[in-house]
Structure 1
Amino acid sequence: MDLSISEEQDALQRSVRALCDDRFPTSAVRACEQNPAAVSAIYDDLFAMGLGGILIDENAGGLSLGLTEMVVTQMELGRALVPMLFAESTVLASGILAHSNDAAVRALLPQLASGEKRASCAWQEQGRPLPDNARATQLSDGGTLDGTKVLVADADMVDYLIVLASDTAGQNAWCLVARDAAGIERVDLPNMADLSMANVTFVQTPVLATIARGDAATAAWEQAQTAMKIAIAAQAVGGAEKALEITRDYACTRQQFGQPIGAFQSIAHYLADAAVNVEGARMLVYRAAAATDYGEPAKTWADLAKMKACQVYRDVSALAIQIHGGIGFTLEADPQLYYRRAKHLQLMYGDPLDLQERAGEALISGTHKVLEA
């Protein structure tokens, strides 16, 4: 399988990189850590380029492109440390909404594609990290929600929350809720990446619509979560690539004993190993995206890609701090920005142990055959 990107995909990647380099330097990253709403300017630019509709059907106001186009875009967003809401709304939330048979619900897709509206998913619960476990958040026959969701991204910056609940028959149900609906309480959640996260409690909160139930809800989640894992893996590759670049440049300019520290084998070998690992992670992410684009089962590819890419990101960003020496630990220097984001991505949408277990089960059972890849 040819995993090289096309000329059109390369042009897309270069366009997004130019935008992020111009409009979202690391000073903007720091501004967003202090005020999450400061990210709106770069989001407006991304939507103006039409990037919000990459995975949304053309009939729903999108571009009907593939996961490879999504990957090259998300790599650049990860490289620039753009916060997560763009992916949360245009990859995960739109992926779930696309499975609805309700015309009124599907009418939100053009608004997500254009950035007119934004949505975030509330699916995690304390002690229940996986959505196939029993849900403590309950959907009543009267169409109200009760329960608490944790680690909800950008809950204060969206128009809608897409909430996973259990209905009175015990089935999973995806529910559409207005962010400002009655009975919602949000508690900000500090996190290593200083991104906007919250625990959200629902008390008799009215539901606008039920997106999907039962098997349809499970299918919607599997497809949308697979795409989101690949998006996060792509961001991890982009972040690792940038962390490696700034570390290489520092090693080429920092002088010790009359020569650049990059001339010493102990540094050069570290950098060479990191470069190999970044490229390996990149190819795995492209392979995961290609599986979906070519109609192959992609769930395990997504697990493997996220596990590998996020580990590489964490390792490379830690190496960046080490090579920068004492300055690498300071908030004024950039390496810590990448390390903190790397650790955040590694724990979201499947921690390493969960991903290892899922991938191992698929390999042992024979449902994922690597040698046939």
Structure 2
Amino acid sequence: MTVPVSQEYEAVRKTAREYAQNELKPIYREYNEKGEFPYDLVEDMAEVGLRGIMVPVEYGGVGMDMLSHAIVMEEVSAVWPSAGIKMDEGLMRYLRMFGTEEQKERYLPKLCSGEYVDAIALSEPDYGSDFAGIETTAERDGDEYVLNGSKMWVTNAGKSDLMVVTAKTDQPERHRGISLFLIETQNNDGCTVEPGIDMMGFDASESHEVVLDDCRVPEENLLGEENGGFYHTMKMLEENRVSVAARGLGIAVGAYDASKQYITEREQFGKKIGEFQAIQHKIADMAVQIENSKHLVYNAARLCDDGEPFDTEASMAKLYASEAAHDVASEAVQIHGGYGYTKEFPVQMFFRDAKGIEIYEGTSEIQKNVIAKNVME
């Protein structure tokens, strides 16, 4: 029971699975309880080829494709979803797609190696799904832009070296008035990262509010076309949604695997609980949802790799895989009973993290809007 892939991709899976089992599984609980991530692992991931997977080799990346990235994300997230977030390539995608040659040469090698930690600042306190309504501004002042505003839910901001920020360069406009800027956060007094937000899940991956107060950015750090940032972001999110869908798939697989092990160990009424039909039906439902998720995720990834349109398929994968992750993780907690409600077992982590997958990178409702618009044209 699996979606077939070539030996090359199975080798990628083997590397990612061994790394996750040997390096991440022994430490995930410790760092989840601390509420922090060991960022030295980012460089370790890079050394074994798990970071910058889609970045060309000439810029320090691995030079592989979206399906490889999805498989790695799946395997890592099946053990520790917070670590999957650290493999996200959103900022690298922005640079790969829209960066100048100088920007690519300057930043991509450091991001791929893990020397630089990256962050993306899109949402604002009052604007999440309504991305075109953002109020952060960027005004020209000589050969610089001056940014003012507040950004929300910025993952990695507390440790970031480089951040992409969206801001209005043409305020009366909505979609056509947004631009992207690269901010070197460690050397900018106008960029303040607030303390981490106490969230429901992804315990080892903090998100922050970022305040921009007369934050000066040199004009050469404009990313892509001025006023083209909305459209650049939509293109970036097409790929990112496949990545997030793969993370959802991994969460479901992790919860499923934990449940299959538990039902062979736990006894009630004089026999293993896996012998009860009620439990067997739960396992069957989980298996079907995982298989469906895998087909959707891998299909979207392959379309991306083939240069075919995949906007609809990416949204389908993100919608289904995120909701399947939530359902599978919920049933995993139920199978574990009282123990599933404790931090002694990983299923509670998968359950809490799964809810985040349904929300960020476009909520399930936004994905349905995208799908409906595309299939009804």
TM-score, normalisation: structure 1:
0.91
Q: CA deviation at 1:13?
A: 0.6
Structure 1 CA distance for aligned equivalents of residues 322 and 81 of structure 2:
16
Structure 2 CA distance for aligned equivalents of residues 59 and 221 of structure 1:
24
Would the aligned equivalents of 2:3 and 2:294 in 1 still touch at CA under 8 Å? Answer: no
Would the aligned equivalents of 1:95 and 1:220 in 2 still touch at CA under 8 Å? Answer: no
Q: CA deviation at 1:97?
A: 1.4
Unaligned runs of 5+ in 1: 366-373
1:135 matches 2:134 = yes
Q: Which residue number corresponds to residue 177 of structure 1?
A: 183
Q: Which residue number corresponds to residue 13 of structure 1?
A: 13
1:190 matches 2:198 = yes
1:100-119 aligned at under 5 Å gives the runs 100-107=98-105, 108-119=107-118
Q: CA deviation at 1:206?
A: 1.3
Would the aligned equivalents of 1:55 and 1:64 in 2 still touch at CA under 8 Å? Answer: yes
Deviations 1:154-204 (A, max 9, x none): 101110110011114642110011213112222221111123001111000
Structure 2 CA distance for aligned equivalents of residues 104 and 321 of structure 1:
49
Q: CA deviation at 1:336?
A: 0.5
Q: CA deviation at 1:346?
A: 1.6
Select which of 206, 222, 225 maps to 2:216.
206
Q: Which residue number corresponds to residue 347 of structure 1?
A: 359
Q: CA deviation at 1:352?
A: 1.1
Q: Which residue number corresponds to residue 233 of structure 2?
A: 221
Would the aligned equivalents of 1:3 and 1:290 in 2 still touch at CA under 8 Å? Answer: no
1:223-238 aligned at under 5 Å gives the runs 223-238=235-250
CA 1:177–1:298: 2 relative to 1, 3 Å: same
CA 1:33–1:175: 2 relative to 1, 3 Å: farther
SS at match of 2:157: coil
Would the aligned equivalents of 1:3 and 1:287 in 2 still touch at CA under 8 Å? Answer: no
Q: Percent identity?
A: 24
Q: CA deviation at 1:145?
A: 0.7
Structure 2 CA distance for aligned equivalents of residues 101 and 16 of structure 1:
29
SS at match of 2:369: helix
CA 1:219–1:33: 2 relative to 1, 3 Å: farther
Structure 2 CA distance for aligned equivalents of residues 135 and 284 of structure 1:
32
Would the aligned equivalents of 1:79 and 1:242 in 2 still touch at CA under 8 Å? Answer: yes
Unaligned runs of 5+ in 2: none
Would the aligned equivalents of 2:358 and 2:364 in 1 still touch at CA under 8 Å? Answer: yes
Structure 1 CA distance for aligned equivalents of residues 286 and 116 of structure 2:
39
1:259-274 aligned at under 5 Å gives the runs 259-274=271-286
Q: CA deviation at 1:29?
A: 4.0
Aligned residues: 361
Q: CA deviation at 1:87?
A: 3.1
The aligned amino acid for 2:97 is H
Q: Which residue number corresponds to residue 87 of structure 1?
A: 87
Deviations 1:296-326 (A, max 9, x none): 1111111110110111111111101111111
Would the aligned equivalents of 2:179 and 2:227 in 1 still touch at CA under 8 Å? Answer: no
Would the aligned equivalents of 1:146 and 1:203 in 2 still touch at CA under 8 Å? Answer: yes
Q: Which residue number corresponds to residue 328 of structure 1?
A: 340
1:43 matches 2:19 = no
Select which of 330, 353, 358 maps to 1:318.
330
Structure 1 CA distance for aligned equivalents of residues 76 and 91 of structure 2:
18
Would the aligned equivalents of 1:50 and 1:113 in 2 still touch at CA under 8 Å? Answer: no
Structure 2 CA distance for aligned equivalents of residues 37 and 311 of structure 1:
26
CA 1:335–1:140: 2 relative to 1, 3 Å: same
Q: CA deviation at 1:70?
A: 0.6
Q: Which residue number corresponds to residue 158 of structure 2?
A: 156
CA 1:37–1:264: 2 relative to 1, 3 Å: closer
CA 1:231–1:280: 2 relative to 1, 3 Å: same
Q: CA deviation at 1:57?
A: 2.0
CA 1:318–1:30: 2 relative to 1, 3 Å: farther
SS at match of 1:117: coil
Q: CA deviation at 1:141?
A: 0.6
1:291 matches 2:303 = yes
Structure 2 CA distance for aligned equivalents of residues 3 and 296 of structure 1:
20
Deviations 1:216-273 (A, max 9, x none): 4344312321111111111111121121111111112211122111111111011111
Q: Which residue number corresponds to residue 76 of structure 2?
A: 77
TM-score, normalisation: structure 2:
0.90
Q: CA deviation at 1:105?
A: 1.6
Which shows bigger deviation, 330-339 or 301-310? 330-339
Would the aligned equivalents of 1:9 and 1:69 in 2 still touch at CA under 8 Å? Answer: yes
Would the aligned equivalents of 1:37 and 1:157 in 2 still touch at CA under 8 Å? Answer: no
Q: CA deviation at 1:347?
A: 1.0
Would the aligned equivalents of 2:16 and 2:75 in 1 still touch at CA under 8 Å? Answer: yes
Q: Which residue number corresponds to residue 144 of structure 1?
A: 146
Q: CA deviation at 1:333?
A: 2.4
Deviations 1:91-116 (A, max 9, x none): 21011112345333222112212222
The aligned amino acid for 1:174 is L
The aligned amino acid for 1:184 is C
SS at match of 2:308: coil
Would the aligned equivalents of 2:123 and 2:134 in 1 still touch at CA under 8 Å? Answer: no
Structure 1 CA distance for aligned equivalents of residues 265 and 235 of structure 2:
46
